[in-house]
Amino acid sequence: MKAGDTSNGRLPGGAAETLACHRLAREPLDSLPEAERPRDEREAYAVQELVHARLERAGLGPVAGYKIGCTTPVMQAFLKIPNPCGGAVLAGTVYRSPAVIPHDAFVRVGVECEIVARLGQDLPARAEPYSQEEVEAAVATVMPGMEIVDARYVDYTRLDTPTLIADDFFDAGCVLGDERDARSGPDLAGVVGVTRINGEEVGRGRGADVMGHPFRALAWLANSRSARGLGLEAGRFVFLGSVVETKWLARGDLVEMDLAGLGRVEARFT
Q: CA-to-CA distance for 139 and 121, rounded, in angstroms? A: 7
153: confidence class by pLDDT, cuts 50, 70, 90: very high
Fold topology of 64-269:
Fumarylacetoacetate hydrolase; domain 2 (3.90.850)
DSSP β-ladder status, 237-242 and 63-69? parallel
Residue 3 has a pLDDT of 41
State the average pLDDT over residues 13-37.
93
Check whether 4 has a pLDDT greater than 70: no
13: confidence class by pLDDT, cuts 50, 70, 90: confident
Query: In the chain, at which residue ranges do the beta strands (DSSP E only) sit?
Result: 63-69, 85-90, 94-96, 99-101, 109-119, 139-150, 171-176, 180-181, 192-197, 200-206, 237-242, 247-248, 254-259, 263-269
Which of 72-76, 162-166, 220-224, 265-269 is least confident? 72-76
Check whether 174 has a pLDDT greater than 90: yes
Check whether 216 has a pLDDT greater than 60: yes
Q: Among residues of the chain, what percentage have pLDDT more than 70?
A: 95
Picking from 95, 133, 81, the residue whose alpha carbon sits closest to that of residue 241 is 81
The DSSP letter of residue 169 is G
Q: CA-to-CA distance for 249 and 256, rounded, in angstroms? A: 12
CA atoms lying within 13 Å on the CB side of residue 214: 30
Burial 236-249 (b: 16+ CB within 10 A, else e): bbbbbbbbbbbbeb
* Domain range list for the chain: 64-269
Q: Which one-letter amino acid corresponds to residue 24?
A: L
Residue 77 has a pLDDT of 77
